[in-house]
Amino acid sequence: MATRPGTTMNTIDRLLSSELAGEIEFLTARTRSLGSARANMLLEPLDLKVRSYSVLSLACSGLAPTQRELAEFLSLDPSQIVPLVDQLEGRGLVERTADPNDRRSKVITGTKSGEQLYTKAREATAEGEAVAMAKLSKAEQETLRDLLSRIAFRD
Amino acid sequence: MATRPGTTMNTIDRLLSSELAGEIEFLTARTRSLGSARANMLLEPLDLKVRSYSVLSLACSGLAPTQRELAEFLSLDPSQIVPLVDQLEGRGLVERTADPNDRRSKVITGTKSGEQLYTKAREATAEGEAVAMAKLSKAEQETLRDLLSRIAFRD
DNA sequence: CTTAATCGTTGACTTTATCAAGAGTTTAAG
DNA sequence: CTTAAACTCTTGATAAAGTCAACGATTAAG
């Protein structure tokens, strides 16, 4: 399928007719690439990245996750959680507490200043999300959230 | 918000009530992480990964993309395209051709054997997509594709 | 003709991903 | 109770991916 001569088309519009452009795998990859780039920009003034923000968010959720749980939920290797928590703990934003029920595990919880920073960070990611979904109606946004949630957590 | 004692909950169900679990940014990141892991598994017998598959797909699309266009469409740095094309070209799957209109650019096109491999690879990724979207109705699948496409290519 | 901009490529460097092994803790079996 | 197996965090090695500046060749602008 060739481009009609005479029409000026940018790269994206041209390749949009490819089979790849219709694949969910590709669409999610591109969406998350653009989204995390923007989120990282918005989080930079707070010295956070998407990764550290995600850990901080769960730490401040009141759900008292262990590092193992963070790794599973965030699709990361347990060994990747260690330096993330190290850094946040070093800044006084989260705390490691030995789980009294199972002293192998360490529960990660947000400190006061951790929660204060999280509040600001949450505003940043909310803004990023608003920008990303600007072209969707509120109803469509909720539909997208529901559909993605169901395929991200099937099982 | 604490878990009711007496109920046994796995990690994912517990953390599903977190604020993070409702963020599009997080949902797309998790979806693509699970999806690309599965796609890589299914593509492994063909000695392809999601990355090389994507390049092969666009090379076989008939749209004759340049390396620059591949980079932009795939959200990659131009320097990352080089070894990807090198590898595919070394296997005789794609060809680099100097663009006659602009000899700075190199157009990437699939060879006969490249197209044959792409046919098989496309079946693999289609199966992966079917697994990922198993819990969604056909109508919901098309809705998801449309919504994602609109936020992946806004502008 | 000169200058600036673009494309592919290379190389250096940082970040992220993957994997095996170890110390401490808990669970299960005998 | 004791021993073996399984689990959690941590470390370290290694591979893969991302970022960025610079260069030769080519094209576009003035």
Statement: residue A9 has pLDDT above 80:
no
Q: How far apart are CA A9 and CA B73, in angstroms?
A: 14
B96 touches chain A (CB under 8 A): no
Quote the CA–CA distance of A144 and A139 in Å, as a whole number.
Answer: 9
**Domain-located, residue B147:** no
Q: Number of structural domains, chain B?
A: 1
* Interacting residues of A49 by C-beta distance below 8 A, sequence separation 6+: A40, A43
Question: Mean pLDDT over residues B73-102, rounded?
Answer: 97
Could you tell me which residue, B37 or A12, shows the higher pLDDT? B37
Query: Does residue A81 belong to any structural domain of this protein?
Result: yes
B21 band by pLDDT with thresholds 50, 70 and 90: very high
Average pLDDT over chain B reads 93
pLDDT at B107 over 50: yes
- Establish if A1 belongs to a structural domain: no
The enclosing domain of A103 has a CATH number of 1.10.10.10
Q: Between residues 16 and 55 of chain A, which touch chain B (CB distance below 8 Å)? A: 16-36, 39, 50, 54
Judge whether residue B10 has pLDDT over 90: no
Query: What was the pLDDT predicted at A6?
Result: 44
In a domain, B124, yes or no: yes
Q: Answer yes or no: is A145 within a domain.
A: no
Q: Which residues of A touch B40 (CB under 8 A)?
A: none
Look up the domain containing A76 and give its range. Answer: 25-128
pLDDT digits (tens, 9 = 90+) for A107-145: 999 999 999 999 999 999 999 999 999 999 999 999 999
Is A15 part of a structural domain of the chain?
no
Asked if residue B5 belongs to a domain, the reply is: no
Q: What is the pLDDT of residues A63-95, one digit of tens each?
A: 999 999 999 999 999 999 999 999 999 999 999
